[in-house]
Amino acid sequence: MMQPTHSSNRILLPVRGWFIFMSLLAALFLNMIPAGRLPGVPDFVALVLAFWCVREPFKIGMGAAFVLGIAMDVVSAGVMGQHSLAYVLLAFAATGLSRRILWFPLARQALHILPLLLGTQLVMFIARMIAGGAFPGWLYFLSSFTACLLWYPLTYLLLLPQYRSMEKDENRPI
């Protein structure tokens, strides 16, 4: 969906469904790369999901969040339902706030995303603490901060296909 932002002076091409799908799959792939117990590794699935929920609230929503959550539950060897619960809440908040967030420049958009990602982690944290998991240490919440730093490059990367011009021009780089 084309959304006006306070600084936008161009109208983007409509997004393609398969591109959203591929970017979410790529995020899932990045999450699967074993990083051991290194703190601060961002949750790419949550980040890309939040991005599409903000950008395309009518294309990506809670259903996709739920399915991705199930996949993450299995991949991370956690408890079933832990990621899906958190992601569904994230998708709800991000779609709800999308009109507001897009009004801000990118740096302040990232500041809006930070509490959403922290909330996602907090939901998982509370769910697992109730279930009797071990306390992972406060550095667990560091990954939201690193993820929010990625908001700036991620926006440019994921909007790249929509910056193409309508008519083909051999001399134009993108």
Partner 1 sequence: MSVVGQEPPPFFKRGPAPLARLAFFLALSALLLVLDLRYHTLEWTRQAVAIAVYPLQRLAYAPAEASGSVAGYLTTLVAAEKENAALRRRQLDDSRLLLRQNALEQENRHLRALLEMKQRQTVPSQVAEIIYSASDPFSRRVIIDKGTQAGIVAGQVAVDDRGVIGQVTRAFPMLSEVTLITDKDQAVPVQILRNGLRSVIFGNGDGSLELRFLSSSANIQVGDELVTSGLDGIYLPGLPVAKVVHIDRDTTYAFAHIRCEPIAGVESHDQVLVLGRPKALPPAPPEPEGKPVKGGRMRK
Minimum CB distance to partner 1, residue 83 (Å): 9
Minimum CB distance to partner 1, residue 110 (Å): 19
Give the residue among 140, 142, 133 at the shortest CA–CA distance from 78.
Answer: 133
Q: Are 47 and 150 in contact (CB under 8 A)?
A: yes
Minimum CB distance to partner 1, residue 173 (Å): 30
Question: Maximum CA pair distance of the chain?
Answer: 61
Residues forming the site for partner 1 (CB under 8 A): 25, 28-37, 57-58, 61-63, 65-66, 69-71, 74-82, 84-85, 88-89, 92, 95-100, 127-128, 131-136, 140
Q: Which of 66/104 has CB closer to partner 1?
A: 66
Q: Which of 47/85 has CB closer to partner 1?
A: 85
Minimum CB distance to partner 1, residue 103 (Å): 11
Q: Which amino acid is at 122?
A: L
CA triplet 130, 121, 126: central angle to 5 degrees? 10
Minimum CB distance to partner 1, residue 129 (Å): 8
Q: Which of 99/164 has CB closer to partner 1?
A: 99
Minimum CB distance to partner 1, residue 69 (Å): 7
Q: Which of 93/171 has CB closer to partner 1?
A: 93
Give the residue among 169, 170, 168, 159 at the shortest CA–CA distance from 14.
Answer: 159
Q: Which of 91/110 has CB closer to partner 1?
A: 91
> 146-149, long-range: CB within 8 Å, 24+ apart, which pairs?
146/40, 146/41, 146/42, 147/42, 147/43, 147/44, 147/46, 147/47, 147/113, 147/117, 148/110, 148/111, 148/113, 148/114, 148/117, 149/110
Q: Which of 107/134 has CB closer to partner 1?
A: 134
